[in-house]
Amino acid sequence: MHDARIVDVTPSARLLTLGWLGSFALCLSASTLSAANGRPPEVFLPIGVSSAIYVTSGYLMARRRPDNRIGYLLVLIGVIQAGLVVMRYLAPAAEVLNVALSPFPAILIALVLLAYPSGELVGRAERFTMGAISIGFAMLAVATILTVEPALHGTSRCPPCAPNPFRITDTSVFPTVNALSSLAQVASAAAVSVLAIRRWVRARGTARRVLAPVLFGGIVTAAAFLVTSLIFLTGGAFDLAAQFILVLQVLVPIGLAVTFIRVYAARSAVTRVVIQLGASPSTEALESALRKELHDPSLVVARWSAAAGAYLDREGQRVSLEDLGADRSAARLEREGEPLAAIVHDAALDVDPGLVGTVADAVRFSVEATDLRDELRARGGDVAGLPRGDVTFLFGDLEGSTELLGALGDAYVDVLAELRRIVREVADRSGGRVVDARADECFLAFPDPARALAAALDLRRRMEEATWPGNAQPRMRIGVHLGTPELTSEGYVGLDVHLAARVMATAAGGQILATSAVVIAAGEGRPAGMALTPLGYTSLKGIAEPQFLYRVGG
């Protein structure tokens, strides 16, 4: 299991913090030296800090998810930002390229926004928009190289500016190209903002929590680009707005850092959930807790069924791991090379594989603890926590088990394993306890007679809907009775235990019989839609007095 204290001592968080602080110190030193040499220090500081934050954040994400290109894009953004300012101050002759390539960090930021967190553009609108932006600005970059003259169109930040050897037009053309570039920035920022907002609106639960910090920073940055471009088009001062954009751009990697902090908190929450559920958590209870803590209401913990040859959810329905949408992901768990369980979750959780690993550890612990508990029950060695006082018993066994064994051969073992799993899940969902589950028989105890009747109906339904090997359809006969047994270290003893077993023996395969004691005690709390057919007084083998029985349907 992962240590809950990982939130406080994670090396990644320390690396991120030290990287940012160190980068800030280096940029401050560079600004001081720049000022001493007659360079404007206000340029180095925002660009240097922005570049350092992008590179550090990108390295962190690339190290954690080397298969995701988001981290590499963040590093590239930081490198290009730093490269452009270095090129401007150390190689004035390259100012032409500086002017031409200046929009490209913003293009990469747009790609990060639309591809986060998977690293892939999954929507048609996103792919079309990024394709149009890339082609459009590539053409504008070529036009800039062929028309700009740094000595005339540059700023005070590039003295002296060498002549542009690539210019093929007179100097009056570049203002038009520059205006088109600003218009393109307005259109691109607006389009990216709309798509980012649409992603936020469509996202739910976990995806929204993962997307929120990064999308917020990206939308604010896109809005700043839009405003800055409008300021330039209307003849306003550009330099101050450009510096403001550099400050806003760091909201994207900072948003990513916030996401990581949330992910670490989620890891701690998963660990806390396992502790709260105790030493023997059921997969159903763990699934419900994970849905709440991870804000993923559609998360599914599916157990592998050898009998069905498939993963089954808590309702016994097949869970396909091959036809998941782009917003869903699956993690498979194995034991000794054999399938054990699977977790189907929001794909946004994949932003940190460590979180998925923590969830997988929790599920593995739950499954193995449940299997151990079932084995103990099957041996009749678990009596702790059994209900006392008025107890409703549910007995069941497979009809024609000998013939079924002959027909299925070795596959009969898988049938018994699946039967035990179904019985345990029905008991857990209905608030009952499995007293015994040996071979093809089961013995359950409930403190509530209405829940015992609901469990009987649920057990029959699960048996009918399950997929069994060899097209078999095993049917269980079920008997339900309420009594006041004595609970010893060996389990329940008394006449009521024998009476419940005799009621079961009277039933046919697929039939549920209940004594009048259960029906009367359940009263109006009986499951909705449950039908009761009175069978009258029936003599039971070994029981002196006849019992009034009901056939339970619904």
| Percent with pLDDT over 70 in the chain | 80
Query: Angle at the Cα of 384 (from 380 to 389), degrees rounded to 5?
Result: 105
Are 214 and 255 spatial neighbours (Cβ–Cβ below 8 Å)? yes
The verdict on 159 and 251 lying in the same domain is yes
Please provide the average confidence, as pLDDT, over all residues in the chain: 78
The verdict on 394 and 352 lying in the same domain is no
User: pLDDT (tens digit, 9 = 90+) per residue, 529-548?
Assistant: 889 999 999 988 878 889 99
| Structural domains in the chain (count) | 3
Query: Angle at the Cα of 251 (from 292 to 33), degrees rounded to 5?
Result: 145
**Letter string b/e over residues 85-122, b meaning 16 or more CB atoms within 10 A of that residue's CB:** bbbbbeebebbbbbbbbbbbbbbbbbbbbbbbbbbebe
Q: Establish if 268 belongs to a structural domain.
A: no
Backbone angles phi, psi at 334, to 5 degrees: -125, 160
Q: Establish if 345 belongs to a structural domain.
A: yes
Q: What is the mean pLDDT of residues 499-521?
A: 91
Instruction: Quote the CA–CA distance of 471 and 513 in Å, as a whole number.
Output: 27
Q: Which of 164-178, 214-228, 328-342, 382-396 has the lowest mean pLDDT?
A: 214-228
Q: Establish if 391 belongs to a structural domain.
A: yes
Backbone angles phi, psi at 35, to 5 degrees: -65, -40
The verdict on 46 and 150 lying in the same domain is yes
- The closest of 161, 194, 185 to 241, measured between CA atoms, is 185
Retrieve residue 37's tokens.
């040499």
Q: What is the pLDDT of residue 8?
A: 35
| Percent with pLDDT over 90 in the chain | 14
pLDDT at 130 over 90: yes
- Confidence (pTM): 0.61
Q: What is the mean pLDDT of residues 47-51?
A: 74
The verdict on 33 and 68 lying in the same domain is yes
The verdict on 151 and 203 lying in the same domain is yes
Q: Establish if 64 belongs to a structural domain.
A: yes
Give me the torsion for CA of 424, 429, 431, 435, rounded to 10°: -10
Q: Establish if 271 belongs to a structural domain.
A: no
With bands split at pLDDT 50, 70 and 90, how would you rate the model's confidence at 270? confident
The verdict on 247 and 288 lying in the same domain is no
Instruction: Quote the CA–CA distance of 547 and 545 in Å, as a whole number.
Output: 6
Q: Establish if 75 belongs to a structural domain.
A: yes
Q: Establish if 272 belongs to a structural domain.
A: no
With bands split at pLDDT 50, 70 and 90, how would you rate the model's confidence at 375? low
The verdict on 499 and 414 lying in the same domain is yes
- The closest of 382, 357, 363, 362 to 372, measured between CA atoms, is 382
Residues contacting 124, CB < 8 A, separation 6+: none
Q: Establish if 269 belongs to a structural domain.
A: no
Residues contacting 463, CB < 8 A, separation 6+: 419, 422, 474, 475, 476, 510
Backbone angles phi, psi at 392, to 5 degrees: -100, 125
The verdict on 14 and 77 lying in the same domain is yes
User: pLDDT (tens digit, 9 = 90+) per residue, 136-145?
Assistant: 999 999 999 8
Are 356 and 346 spatial neighbours (Cβ–Cβ below 8 Å)? no
Sheet with 531-538, edge to edge strand ranges: 433-436, 441-446, 391-398, 476-483, 512-515, 547-553, 531-538
Q: What is the pLDDT of residue 363?
A: 84
Q: What is the pLDDT of residue 4?
A: 31
The verdict on 47 and 188 lying in the same domain is yes
**CATH number of the domain to which 438 belongs:** 3.30.70.1230
176/471: higher pLDDT: 176
Instruction: Quote the CA–CA distance of 455 and 432 in Å, as a whole number.
Output: 8
Task: From 341, 375, 409, give the residue that closes a domain.
Answer: 375
- What is the residue range of 88's domain? 6-261
Most confident stretch, 61-70, 192-201, 381-390, 406-415: 192-201
Distance of CA 221 to the CA centre of its chain: 28
Task: Check residue 161 and report its DSSP letter.
Answer: P
Task: From 375, 406, 424, give the residue that closes a domain.
Answer: 375
Q: What is the pLDDT of residue 243?
A: 53
The verdict on 172 and 41 lying in the same domain is yes
With bands split at pLDDT 50, 70 and 90, how would you rate the model's confidence at 200? confident
Most confident stretch, 277-281, 304-308, 342-346: 342-346
Task: From 309, 342, 375, give the residue that closes a domain.
Answer: 375
The verdict on 237 and 209 lying in the same domain is yes
The verdict on 60 and 127 lying in the same domain is yes
Residue in the block written with tokens 């991120």: 16
Residues contacting 325, CB < 8 A, separation 6+: none
Alpha helices by DSSP H, 490-533: 495-506, 516-522
